[in-house]
Structure 1
């Protein structure tokens, strides 16, 4: 078999005929517009028609070191030649696997020194919850099985992690609702009118405690939270939120899972954001995406020595989870090279230096038509569009406002991610100051063009 030719619409035709894209309207998929990406280099990707696009979404929150790294390709090729794959089961290991788990333990906060490697972010979060259940069974507290998550969260696409995510992700599916529960998102833009940030924080903490008491603290296993909610709209919580939620977990004996699939590996300027940015050391961190910069799929669950001590206290009590490709040697080699590049090129420091300008440039859009809110941190940003700026009213779904602006951005050589009434941006950490200016300028023009388009279509905005 050979790759489909990239001329004459062949790729487009094959894709429409056979491919089921993730998170899409299947009824409209065959007629949906396609952009065939055939090449990537640095911070740019290229279409089959020769068009060049600045990758404003970093693939999918993940290409932290940029595309087409020759030394990464060489590291992957060298590992394939040396050892392509071998089973991680039955007490077998490889140099790549052992080296990577050491590297992760060295960079994780506190005493998070034990690592379970998985195949991606979904399997990491799924495994983390299974691990928590196993933990409480080992403690003789099997009733502790309830998990508290949040609205606007996204934790993955397995059956369990889709259930952990915002209920909207489970529309059309029979989600797990017996032991998975949701509390409010810490969305400052959408907080009740008249509340200050500090007052809103108290409301959120009180709601969390009320949910624990409603379920019975003896029945609740853990709280799972992204430091900044990603696909749910890049929601930055009120100051001190994570510290207060962790304190509530400690009060009632819950474990705290920090989902750093997006925020890890430099996106917020640190290898992990939980402690460095938000001042907490959780019990468990999940990671993926930037762990290998998307070059090869990989995920990780990093847990504390305290949790591991309980899991390992009884000989013969198996922890029955793992995957054929857990700790795949090629994926581990890619992750090790990725870490090397991030540290050698000081990409975390670069994000801390250039991130504030990225925030400033995008926040200049707040006064434009359609723009309700611009939020985020460093290289993780979001623009929320509204039909009425005073009342913060959203557009009807069929307006597809995020997709309209995405289309105008693409015409100008910029790829952003459309999520209903949002556009999110998560560019490679190698983004330059000139490219930051380009992104902001293109978005400004695209928003104005979209406002004109809505007027022509008879769609009212205020």
Structure 2
């Protein structure tokens, strides 16, 4: 225990004054972190934990990466905050790196804007789609996750409206504002779905489009791999869904806050489907390894041109913050110079190999899927069905401690590994890109033991955990 800090006092202050999320006060578990370094973090009691979830599938280059922090240190010698109406070195360098070096100067991407969170980026992307098309409806996949806000302001003149280049005497509000229209479409089928013709989700989605009227739809927002629900879609799903967007004339908004900048073994998840390019991309997390709060929006050349020529009344105090942009520069320059994408592929292949070897041993493993360093395990009972019947439709009510993902989290933590999931039956394995084979072995061995505990509870006749 660190004697320099009174963690008991800090816990009292935290419990008394901080407004917490997800856990009710009576069930709040105080987990104090003393320090973070590389692929590990150390708790207040001295316990060292392998971070096999990169916190929230976010800290992709590990914690306090020297290249990122070195650039941040250099930036702090010159900059504090620069409001978004002014320019600075790091904004230009970050934009050039993303558009020219990562995506490619001759590719689809036109311009990028830097925000302070992935939620901000998604909010901006959906507003851009509405303004560009003049329509209000956004289609969103069931089980997807895009942030936790419902719109930031209702004041005319300060609510993301647009004065077009063609007529400086007019103003265009975001269509449907207020309120916004978000309409769910079915989730994608998993990649092991036995397809026979057009996927059922695509058939149902087209019926929804026809019922709404495509003339009312601004865009569809998708995740290449669902971050919250943890589903990697069937190979036919994304081309078919984007095909509907092209057929009916609305935009494809690609939410890559979790998958973007290397997580799936490509710079972006959409590249898992050659030939597909989004109209608008929302990113975050991996663009600077979450060294500071960050989000980005990347618009196609055509869309970016319209907004760049217009008076676009949008933005927040932190947009393009020099210190945030410096961490983007440090992160991307290091990734490019050291071929980190190839490293993700290699480490991801080894992780998948180790997980596949567990499946014959553990009847609780129903499915293993994913790409790169984002692998997901779906857990089942002795009948082969989800242990918690609501599965990805769970409202997180009742005794959460009985959920298999919570059991795995508790059991792996006993073995020095931070590993769990979000929805009840789903485990999400998303270690940093800097993970080693020894780290992977430690995590999979801990998971092996944790699954014994799950099976002792939910599988009749299963061997008792060792």
Which range, TM-score by smaller chain?
Answer: 0.7 to 0.9
Match of 1:452 in 2: 456
Distance 1:4 1:277, change over 3 A: farther
TM-score, length-scaled by structure 1: 0.85
**Pairing 1:428–2:440 present:** no
Seen in structure 2, the aligned counterparts of structure 1 residues 434 and 280 have a Cα distance that, compared at 3 Å, is same
SS of 1:224's equivalent in the other structure is strand
Q: TM-score, normalised by structure 2?
A: 0.84
- Match for 1:336 among 329, 333, 348? 329
- Other-structure match for 2:464: none
Q: Indicate which of 285, 289, 295 corresponds to 1:293.
A: 289
Aligned ranges 1:114-263 → 2 under 5 Å: 114-136=111-133, 142=134, 144-160=135-151, 179-188=181-190, 196-199=194-197, 201-232=198-229, 234-263=230-259
Q: Distance in 1 between matches of 2:3 and 2:191?
A: 46
Cα distance in 1, alignment partners of residues 4 and 383 from structure 2: 47
Task: State yes or no: 1:67 paired with 2:63.
Answer: yes
Contact 2:69 2:330 in 1 (8 A): no
Does the Cα contact within 8 Å between 1:4 and 1:10 map onto a contact in 2?
no
- Consecutive unaligned residues of structure 1, counting only runs of 5 or more, are 137-141, 162-175, 457-462
| Residue 3 of structure 2 is aligned to residue 12 of structure 1 | no
Q: Once the two structures are superposed, what CA deviation does each residue of 1:115-171 show, in whole Å capped at 9, x if it has no partner?
A: 1221111000000011111112xxxxx3x211101101001111159xxxxxxxxxx
Corresponding residue pairs, total: 420
The CA deviation string for residues 372-393 of structure 1, in whole angstroms up to 9 with x for no partner, is: 3222222112222233443335
Q: Which residue of 2 aligns with 1:405?
A: 408
Task: Give the whole-Å Cα distance in 1 for the aligned partners of 2:195 and 2:452.
Answer: 31
Q: CA RMSD in A?
A: 2.5
User: 1:265 deviation in Å?
Assistant: 1.2
Alignment of 1:305-384 (within 5 A): 305-312=301-308, 317-367=310-360, 368-384=362-378
CA distance in 1: counterparts of 2:37 and 2:69, whole angstroms: 12
Alpha-carbon separation, structure 2, partners of 1:267 and 1:353? 12
Within 5 Å, give how 1:28-67 maps onto structure 2.
29-67=25-63
Cα separation, partners in 2 of 1:178 and 1:65, compared to 1, 3 Å: closer
Q: Distance in 2 between matches of 1:392 and 1:84?
A: 50
8 Å CA contact retained: 2:59, 2:432: yes
- Which range moves more in the overlay, 385-394 or 257-266? 385-394
For structure 2, list consecutive stretches of 5 or more residues without a partner in the other structure.
153-177, 391-397, 461-466
Asked if 2 retains the 8 angstrom alpha-carbon contact of 1:388 and 1:394, the reply is no
CA distance, structure 1, for counterparts of residue 387 and residue 252 of structure 2 = 34
Q: 2:417 aligns with which of 414, 417, 442?
A: 414
SS at match of 2:450: helix
